[in-house]
Homo-oligomer: A and B are copies of this chain.
Amino acid sequence: MQKDTTPPSLPPHSGVARFMDACYRRPTDATPVWFMRQGGSCLSEYRAILQKYDVMTIAKTPELSSQVAVMPIKTFGVDAAVLYADIMLPIEGMGVSMSITPKGPVIHNPIRSLKDVAALHVTRAEEATPFVLDGIRLIRREIEGKQAIIGISGAPFTLACYMIEGGPSRDYQVAKALMYGQPEVWDALMQKITDVICDYVKAQVSAGADVIQIFDSWVGSLSPSVYRRFVLPYSQRVFAAIKQVGAPSIHFGTGTAALLEAMVEAGGDVQSVDWRINLDEAWKRIGPERGIQGNLDPTVMHTSWPTIEREMQDVLQRAAGRPGHIFNFGHAVLVPTDEDLLRRLVEAVHEATAR
């Protein structure tokens, strides 16, 4: 399905208009806001659901996942709902045996050889992850086009690291050693993962996602030259696939201060940056042709309102009202974070940027 992402029927002054206009660097009535993991454990309403179901059950039950996805809209007043799904979900159907643990997904049969890669299937999202697409359709019905819907996926590099390491890792030693030392295994794996991700994100857009955020969460562990050699060509295919179906995309990473130019080359309409770089400097580096997402340090939420407001103003002053800014933390909301402070932050960003 080809999507027209800026239909003339967008409700004016709605979250969706704000969000989509920012993605395309058009002026907005206020700066759009959302938070990574806004539907996570910082929400008391979500914690209540977690008493009854584990995260994998929630992610695979559209009625539950869509419910969690829309909660932050009324609780915090954010401008977008984000798909409730682990960024590793697309790889499960590839023949990878995976459990989601409190520390993140664990892979029981990590990929280490060409034979392992050959055994992986390239799946279609409609067959492998229908619950994700049904979840998006239910969110769409719930929010009636008033807010944007953000679909998500892990990027090829981050997914490949997970599949090779077999679980969370601090240094990605096994994955990076394979990448450096067995480039043919790396390429075969990255190609297959990229095929799966491309179909997965296109299916999300068809199901009703307005924008896709690609999480290359671990890419900050690479130098620009290594990124260009081992990551960029694959990520580029993912962003091209999203563009092909007419949706804008957000390119996320952390610790990417040296990588920004290379990541922008890979693609994305909006580059997400964390607090390790000042937003004005980051925007200068990525150039005026891209929007920017970020970049309050979520740690600031553990202080009191005057400090939060000061740091929020610092971010907004560096954005300087230029079209194309999506306000967010540089990374996920910390747990715990006070719900009232989050609500107040959304309100304050909207007020401070109203025009």
Q: Is the CB of A299 within 8 A of B177?
A: yes
A116-161 residues at the B interface, CB under 8 angstroms? none
A206 interface residue, CB < 8 Å from B?
no
Q: Is the CB of B311 within 8 A of A275?
A: no
For the complex formed, measure the closest distance between the CB of A167 and the CB atoms of chain B, giving whole angstroms: 16
Question: Which residues from B are CB-within-8-Å of A223?
Answer: 275-278, 297
Q: Which of B176, B224, B225, B303 contacts A299 (CB 8 A)?
A: B176
Q: How far is the CA of A297 from the CA of B222 in the complex (A)?
A: 9
Q: Interface residues, chain A, CB within 8 Å of chain B?
A: 171-174, 176-177, 180-181, 220-226, 255, 257-259, 275-278, 281, 297, 299-300, 302-304, 307, 311, 314, 334
Question: Which residues from B are CB-within-8-Å of A278?
Answer: 223-225, 258
Q: How far is the CA of A311 from the CA of B226 in the complex (A)?
A: 10
Q: Is the CB of B299 within 8 A of A173?
A: yes
Question: Which residues from B are CB-within-8-Å of A258?
Answer: 257, 276-278, 281
Q: Is the CB of B276 within 8 A of A222?
A: yes
Question: Which residues from B are CB-within-8-Å of A257?
Answer: 257-259
Q: How often does this chain occur in the complex, in copies?
A: 2
Q: Is the CB of B224 within 8 A of A181?
A: no
Question: Which residues from B are CB-within-8-Å of A304?
Answer: 181
Question: Which residues from B are CB-within-8-Å of A172?
Answer: 299
Question: Which residues from B are CB-within-8-Å of A171?
Answer: 299, 334
Q: Is the CB of A181 within 8 A of B307?
A: yes
**Residue on B nearest A255 in the bound complex, by CB:** B255
Q: Which of B173, B177, B220, B281 contacts A224 (CB 8 A)?
A: B281
Question: Which residues from B are CB-within-8-Å of A225?
Answer: 278, 314
Question: Which residues from B are CB-within-8-Å of A222?
Answer: 276
Question: Which residues from B are CB-within-8-Å of A334?
Answer: 171, 173
